[in-house]
Amino acid sequence: MDSFEWLNGYKIGFGLHHVDFTNPNRPRTPKYSAHFYYQIIKDSGFPKPDDEKIVYGHFPKDFIWSTATASYQIEGGWRADGKGLSIWDKFAHTPLRVFNDDNGDIACDSYNKVDEDIAILKQLKVTHYRFSISWPRVLPDGTLKHINEAGLNYYHRLVDALLAANIQPHVTLYHWDLPQALQDIGGWENETIILKFRDYADFIFSHLGDKVKLWITINEPYNIANIGHGYGAAAPGISFRPGTLPYIVGHNLLKAHAEAWHLYNDKYRAKQKGIISITINSDWSEPRNPYKQGDIDAARRVVQFYIGWFAHPIFNGDYSDTMKTIIRERSLAAGLPKSRLPEFSPEEVKWIKGTYDYFGFNHYTTVLAFPMEYGNLQHYDADRGAGTIADRTWLDSGSSWLKVSPFGFRKILNFIKEEYGNPPIIITENGISERGPIDLNDIHRSYYYEKYINQVLKAYMLDNVDIRGYTAWSLMDNLEWATGFSERFGLFYVNRSDPKLPRVAKSSVTLYSTIIKCNGFPDPAARPHECLNSVPEGTSAPITDDSVKFLGMKLSSTDAETGLNTTFALLIVAVFCIIGLSFCFFMTRKQSKQKYFVEAVYMERKF
């Protein structure tokens, strides 16, 4: 237990139990470490927990296997063929906004590389491909006043090429690259954007809807509202009204989504026979100490303020009571006349509720929550009233916020089932990053996918969660928003030192394509499985021309590097040899002069 720690007194506690020294009874309270140590004693070691054991089985026959990208992150062609500017074009061209001042001007040049992208999708053996349409590429000023046919034709070519390869397109209408012209008149804060988004959706449905059967209206409204308009760490980079603007933007995003959904439902569904929904992202949250009620309550608030912010109005109707009560009470306590969270009218609640055909869900990691008091500050984090950390035993990634915690995936999938009436779920993003030196043997990504996808299988097989598909983020390394090209989520490496930007398969391609081919995890002990015995076709890294010219010879980059190092070493040796020879020559010449002088003196004396 905590005790008198010598010179440090009672400031430092080494104990498994906390002792309240302010209480004359000195009560002992077990810390989380006490429960952890108790479990070690009980288990006599560290047996693998049940939730970490692999479950063998298969997904449904029509299960969606996909991978995803976003327009600004891969397309490039930022001013090509009449494309308008987006808020990310402006944001990335603003100094110090994006790491290393990277931008998406060229990115992966997918605007000019449809064939190359289709080739690696076929190599991966996916059944679907999730990509987004750049709103300003097809409607440069965001409205129907000017239509950019060249931009629209790019998406026609992409969709046609996918269908020819027997890969179904899964299209996101909005993945963060708002036309700058609309931002100039208020962007998502201005209510007029709701009908402008509806017009944009109408235009896309009318031109591509006959070929596209899977739609997403808006990707991750939480990030648009809070990261872009609260923290200011993403476009449009607004951070000066964190207590009100994120909630206003979120309100308009929900209305815009509902408009697009009802438009498709009323005008296009009967003919085009597609399905449409929104994609919501969320971490799972566990209490930092599962034995403390304050931590348990904080973890619940984190989830309600994250996934619940947008899921509750769509799946249950209106914002959750948790959000409404907390934000209203804190607003009134600060002297405001009403809640900072906007209210839906009864008609709007009915209009928004039920605007889904499936639950599009992005998930990456889990956090540990604990209560945190922010005083009278008025912003999202203060409303949530919780801090979050990660367990230091969880494996790291290339992103500071992303820790490997597969167990949380199954838990949040079950949360969706219980909280929102077991809707059909399509996992629309899941993946892990790396940074630093390039290593195509990305064993950490293979480990991540194996563990996370197996948790999805457990949720489907053991918990009866209605899961219809899984999407790996991302197809290839790309511009990872404000972190630039430093964080890489791709199954394929993009060699940016080569102007051709070749796509090179990482080792995780083999793992993911095998899971796809097996449609899950067949038991290797039960019987031989063809999908496990054979290496998936084409999963080895494609041959790329990385040759360079060196001293008039064409060598590989590795050989050229070796040659350069060898030449440099020989040059150093040559320099030392020249110095040595020069020294010897100097000394020899000096000795010759001395000998000549001695002989001259001798001859002079002799005569």
Distance, in Å, from the CA atom of 190 to the CA atom of 176, rounded to the nearest integer, reads 16
Q: For 426, list phi and psi in degrees, rounded to 5.
A: -115, 115
Encoded tokens for 353? 């509720």
Of residues 219, 228, 234, 232, the one with CA closest to residue 249: 228
Distance, in Å, from the CA atom of 113 to the CA atom of 16, rounded to the nearest integer, reads 59
Residues in the chain: 607
Token match 């994250």: residue? 306
Q: For 17, list phi and psi in degrees, rounded to 5.
A: -120, 140
Cis ω for the linkage preceding 474 (within 30 of 0): yes
Residue type, 396: D
Query: In degrees, to the nearest 5, what angle opens at C-alpha 42 toward C-alphas 38 and 44?
Result: 110
The answer to whether residues 395 and 418 touch, using CB atoms and an 8 Å cutoff, is no
Encoded tokens for 91? 């944001």
Distance, in Å, from the CA atom of 170 to the CA atom of 602, rounded to the nearest integer, reads 104
Distance, in Å, from the CA atom of 605 to the CA atom of 607, rounded to the nearest integer, reads 5
Distance, in Å, from the CA atom of 448 to the CA atom of 122, rounded to the nearest integer, reads 22
* 450 in catalytic set: no
Residues 6+ apart with CB under 8 A from 468: 60, 63, 64, 358, 424, 425, 426
Encoded tokens for 553? 């010879």
Residue type, 207: H
Which residue out of 220, 286, 419, 429 is catalytically annotated?
Answer: 429
Hey, what's the torsion of the CAs at 578, 581, 587, 589, to 10 degrees?
Answer: -100
The answer to whether residues 330 and 383 touch, using CB atoms and an 8 Å cutoff, is yes
| Distances 63 to 138, 242, 422, 426, 511 between C-alpha atoms, Å | 32, 41, 17, 10, 18
Q: Which residues are catalytic?
A: 429
